[in-house]
Amino acid sequence: MSDPSATPSGDTPPATSATTSEVPAFGWSGYAERVNGRFAMLGFVAVLLVEALSHDTFLHWAGLVP
């Protein structure tokens, strides 16, 4: 028995997100804010990794502070 919610090849994918019933949209939507927050967390972890691996502050490593 096949999954009725699965889309066969050739059909268009559903218009909603995989994790919520929200429609991906630009602007001030809950979906856009959630994606923005996830990228911010990824960037913050990247800065922490740069500081941990270089044993220097990010601002000094990036050349923004002498």
pLDDT digits (tens, 9 = 90+) for 6-62: 555 667 765 666 666 777 777 788 888 888 999 999 999 999 998 999 889 888 888
Number of residues that this document lists for the chain: 66
pLDDT for residue 14? 59
| Radius of gyration for the alpha carbons in the chain, expressed in angstroms and rounded | 20
Distance separating alpha carbons of residues 32 and 24, to the nearest angstrom = 7
CA dist 40 and 42 (Å) reads: 5
Q: What is the pLDDT of residue 23?
A: 74
pLDDT value at residue 17 = 63
Number of CB atoms found within 10 A of residue 50's CB: 14
Q: What is the pLDDT of residue 32?
A: 85
Judge contact between 29 and 22, C-beta under 8 A: yes
Residue ranges per domain, the chain?
Answer: 30-61
